[in-house]
Amino acid sequence: MPQNPVRRIVIAVFPDVDLLDVTGPAEVFALANRETGGSAGYRVELAGPGPAGGAVTTSAGVRVVTDLAFAEVGTGVDTLLVPGAVDLEPAGPRARVDAGVVDWVRATAPGARRIASVCVGAHLLAAAGLLDGRTATTHWSTAGQLAADHPRVTVDPDPIFVRSGRVWTGAGISACLDLALALVADDLGEETALAVARQLVVYLRRQGGQSQFSVPLSRPASARRDIDEVRLYVGEHLAADLSAAALAQRMSLSERHFTRVFKQETGSTPAAYVEALRVEAARRLLETTDRPLEAVAEETGLRSLETLQRAFRRQLGTSPAAYRRRFRTAV
């Protein structure tokens, strides 16, 4: 009888590493083993700069114990997973780039089948030269830093995760679950990944889309509950009539007054806000399905292929077809 494959997952840990970015993926891989009766073959190891068995204090103050020292990892790594750490500065969080960790990542990556970063771990991959010529994502708060420090990397702060060949990058903190589920789907199929997602009580793909800095989240709650209720309605009824006139009628306001109040509260006109949400929904469908472009336009309320194309050009500077070729994630 052939033995089940061993998929060795090595997660880097170091002082102030984000705790969830370590434990979240580890839990996903453990559940994949359970859901497959052990046939998934995932074996998670924590590697750190100190000796094996050494304690590393995470950003949450919780200590984790390493299985291996960096120098002991060697070859035979299936997946090298690199979380990150941040320093809080007056101007905001700044990703920490430790030269010792970067050197180890650079030396270890060639022997791994695939490499993945979680959150600001993308900065470590970039410093190791692993993201040059690739598109990558990271936590939205440090995306500008990543782009400025590494001009050869195309930084997209929107997706939950980006796959570029054997290199994967994930977005902020809780997106470690999305990334790990995507890795499981890549290895074992979406049915197994869905079973794991059910156990975690999370979506295999967030209903908010792949965008980690989604349109609703990018605009804070307004001071008016009625405006927030309209925003919620828009997000849940993208195929409906969402013209300013129709939305104003829902609020029992004149169209002119509604438009003024909406822009005052959200910083956006109703038309621009609706289009942004529809484009986000279209992105999700292009990333995860093979639906024809015409069907994507109809389902998201953009109605026609021409409208879909114009909206993508305005919002993203590309065409729907080109976007799908670049960011298609489902099998």
Question: 56 in helix, strand or coil?
Answer: strand
For the segment 139-148, the average pLDDT, to the nearest whole number, is 89
State whether residue 252 is helix, strand or coil.
coil
Using DSSP's 3-state secondary structure scheme, residue 46 falls into strand
Spans of all domains in the chain: 7-200, 215-331
Superfamily of chain region 7-200: Class I glutamine amidotransferase (GATase) domain (3.40.50.880)
Which helix (H) or strand (E) segment holds residue 220: the answer is none
Residue 327 pLDDT = 67
Supply the mean pLDDT for the chain: 89
Q: What pLDDT does residue 300 have?
A: 95
With a cut of 60, say whether residue 2 has pLDDT above it.
no
DSSP 297-320: HHHTT--SHHHHHHHHHHHHSS-H
From the CB of residue 51, how many other CB atoms can be counted at a distance below 10 Å?
Answer: 11
Task: Say yes or no to pLDDT of 328 above 90.
Answer: no
CB-count burial class (<10 Å; 0-12, 13-18, 19+) for 81: buried
For the residues of 73-141, what is the DSSP string, one character each? --S-EEEEEE---EEEETTEEEE---HHHHHHHHHHGGGEEEEEE-GGGHHHHHHTTSSTTSEE---GG
Give the confidence band of 144 by pLDDT, cuts at 50, 70, 90.
confident
Grade residue 222 by pLDDT with cuts at 50, 70 and 90: low
**Top-level CATH class of 215-331?**
mainly alpha
| pLDDT confidence band for 210 (50 / 70 / 90) | very low
Distance CA 67, CA 225 (A): 51
pLDDT at 128 over 60: yes
Choice among 92-96, 274-278, 321-325 with the minimum mean pLDDT: 321-325
pLDDT band at 203 (very low <50, low <70, confident <90, very high): low
pLDDT at 205: 57
pLDDT in tens, 261-307: 999 888 889 999 999 899 988 988 887 789 999 999 999 999 999 99
- Is there a contact between 77 and 99 (Cβ–Cβ < 8 Å)? no
Residue 208: per-residue pLDDT: 38
Q: Can you tell me the mean pLDDT for 228-240? A: 89
- The first and second tokens of residue 74, run together, are 């060697």
Q: What is the pLDDT of residue 3?
A: 64
Interval 16-45 mean pLDDT: 96
H helices within the chain, ranges in order?
A: 19-35, 99-108, 122-127, 143-149, 175-188, 190-200, 215-218, 225-236, 244-250, 255-266, 270-288, 293-299, 305-316, 320-327
pLDDT category of residue 204 using cuts at 50, 70 and 90? low
- pTM for the whole structure: 0.66
> Phi and psi for 305 in degrees, rounded to 5?
-60, -40
Query: Which residue did the predictor score with more confidence, 102 or 193?
Result: 102
State yes or no: pLDDT of 256 exceeds 50: yes
